[in-house]
Amino acid sequence: MEQNGGSFLAVRRLSGHQNAHGLLFFFFSPSPADVVSGSTAWIGRGFSCVCVQRRDSDARISFDLTPIQEECLQRLQNRIEVPYDSQNGEHQEALKALWHASFPGTELLGLVSDQWKEMGWQGKDPSTDFRGGGFISLENLLYFAKNYPKSFEELLCKQNGDRALWEYPFAVAGVNITFMLIQMLDLQAAKPRSLIGAVFLNLLIENDRAFDILYCITFKLMDRKWLEMHATYMDFNTVIKSTRRQLERELLLEDIQQIEDMPSYSFLAR
């Protein structure tokens, strides 16, 4: 996973627009989340807290894992560590499947084609946009398209609400969301180091597709906040931060026993 503690900057020029202004778009590397409140009495099930290290504005908690928990976390981490490989046949087929799920009935002219810009990739070769999220970011988009096609189409085609002149590009926003969730949940650590991470691991044990479902929830929630805030592309960082704070609040609610219990799950439509 490529990260440098700063921000990834991508530039996309909107085709067909009458002026020459390009669209600036960012991969953000957020700082530790704002402190959130909520009951966390249930999250210790199956965990043994082994240390607490206080920092100025952050607390790091480490948990011992059971073998089942280790296995579950490792499977997700294995997915996260796979980079997108434009020469890999499986990756090529997944990219084609994403196109056909997005634009059924429209022939794809090639894996490198100006058609990809219609989905919100920066250029004609989507493989260059996967550096921030890896192959799992493509898997997330494909899971969204196949399991919640109504919501996927609404976001892809910007069907709801009063949209901005300068909208976020759909596909690149999706890669950003994958990257943000990996950071928020600290999924590249050997064991959970935060309450949010521990909560999520319990949800992952209940459903091994919890990360993919959380991705779909996050994308829909982000779009709703985008509309509520009357955002444009320069506001993307603010919208992502607001989305992350709400996700953290919901994950810490006392009655969240499975990923579908999150209040924002109700925004998704099949």
Query: Domain ranges in the chain?
Result: 67-98+112-267
CA angle (67, 194, 176) in 5-degree steps:
100
Which pTM does this prediction carry?
Answer: 0.81
Identity (one letter) of the amino acid at 183? Answer: Q
Q: How far apart are CA 183 and CA 95, in angstroms?
A: 24
The Cβ of residue 221 has, within 10 Å, a number of other Cβ atoms equal to: 24
For residue 9, pLDDT over 90 is answered with no
**Tell me: the pLDDT tens digits for 134-149?**
999 999 999 999 999 9
Cβ neighbours for 173, distance < 8 A, ≥ 6 positions apart:
25, 120, 219, 222, 236
Q: In one letter, which amino acid is 6?
A: G
Which token pair is 60?
Answer: 């790091």
Mean pLDDT of the chain: 83
> Which pLDDT belongs to residue 12?
33
Tokens of 267: 């925004």
For the chain, what percent of residues have pLDDT higher than 70? 77
Task: Read off φ and ψ for residue 225, nearest 5 degrees.
Answer: -65, -35
- The Cα–Cα gap between 207 and 22 comes to 41
| Alpha carbon distance 101, 104 (integer Å) | 6
Q: Can you tell me which residue has the tokens 């996700």?
A: 247
User: How high is the pLDDT of residue 63?
Assistant: 77
| pLDDT value of residue 10 | 34
Contact by Cβ (8 Å): 179, 134: no
Contact 253/39 with Cβ under 8 angstroms? yes
Which residue's entry shows tokens 């634009």?
A: 103
Closest CA to 172 of 125, 224, 204: 125
Q: Any long-range contacts for 69-74 (C-beta under 8 Å, 24+ apart)? A: 69/201, 69/205, 72/201, 72/204, 72/205, 72/208, 73/187, 73/191, 73/201, 73/204
CA–CA distance, 39 with 122 (Å, rounded to integer)? 42
Kindly report, residue by residue over 64-112, the tens digit of the pLDDT.
Answer: 888 999 999 999 999 999 999 999 999 999 999 999 999 999 999 999 9
Please choose, from the candidates 218, 130, 147, the residue with its C-alpha nearest in 3D space to the C-alpha of residue 181. 218
Question: By C-alpha distance, which of 219, 87, 206 is closest to 145?
Answer: 219
- Asked if residue 150 lies in contact with residue 144, where contact means CB atoms within 8 angstroms, the answer is no
